[in-house]
Structure 1
Amino acid sequence: MKGGTTFFFVTDGIHAALEAAQTAAAGQDISVAGGAGTVNQFLIAGLLDELRLHITPCILGAGERVFDGVPAQRLERVSVRAASRVTHVTYRPVR
């Protein structure tokens, strides 16, 4: 992509994806993108340093939901930014 962003799609699990991302990032920050299923897997494994949710007032249909099947989490809200059609909320795990 313009600016040097690269996307890799990994199908053999979150641990393999994280390892590949860490190798490719060479010490830089990593962003994991995905739907609720991906977020839930990383939450269950305790592998997220930060969770960014982008909340919109529209219903896309039936499907997976964030936090379904995830044990109770201790998350600290670190920022909230509202725009006309979306609210961005950032959390960090309390460890």
Structure 2
Amino acid sequence: MDGAPTQARHAAGDKDVQLSGGANTVRQFIDARLLDELQTHLAPLILGSGVRLFDGVSPGLGREPTRVVDYPQVAHLTDRITPS
């Protein structure tokens, strides 16, 4: 996981880099210790199948909730990712 993250950091300079993706992408960045914040948007839909976000992630993953915004149709969760 060196190419894209390195290019993104270089292009951003001193600004933040944002990653958007599904569970597999997010898990790869968590495993590579490249995330310091995780924003999750939950909408109650039944899709039949999917990938669980934290399956296979180190059990020592540190997550500290910093913000929760909930509405009847969606919840927005923000967690700080801390070194395990």
- TM-score band by shorter chain is 0.7 to 0.9
Structure 2 unaligned spans of 5+: none
Aligned equivalents of 1:30 and 1:20: distance in 2?
A: 10
One of 36, 45, 56 as aligned partner of 2:23: 36
* Divergent runs of 4+, >4 A: none
TM-score of the superposition, structure 2-length normalised? 0.87
How far apart, CA to CA, are the structure 1 residues paired with 2:3 and 2:71?
35
**Equivalent position SS for 2:24:** helix
RMSD (Å), alpha carbons: 1.3
Residue identity matched to 1:27:
D
CA distance in 2, matches of 1:71, 1:86: 27
Give 5+ residue unaligned stretches, structure 1.
Answer: 1-13
CA-to-partner distance for each residue in 1:29-74, whole Å, 9 max, x for gaps? 1100000001111111111010011111112232222011111111
Q: Percent identity?
A: 43
| Count of residues in correspondence between the two structures | 82
TM-score, with length taken from structure 1? 0.78
Task: Give the number of the structure with larger relative contact order, counting CA–CA contacts within 8 Å between residues 6 or more apart.
Answer: 2
> Secondary structure of 1:93's match?
strand
Is 1:51 aligned with 2:58? no
- Partner Cα distance (1:22, 1:78) in 2: 24
Checking the alignment, whether the CA contact within 8 Å between 2:43 and 2:73 is kept in structure 1 is yes
In 2, Cα distance between equivalents of 1:21 and 1:94: 21
| In structure 1, C-alpha distance between the alignment counterparts of 2:2 and 2:54, rounded to whole Å | 19
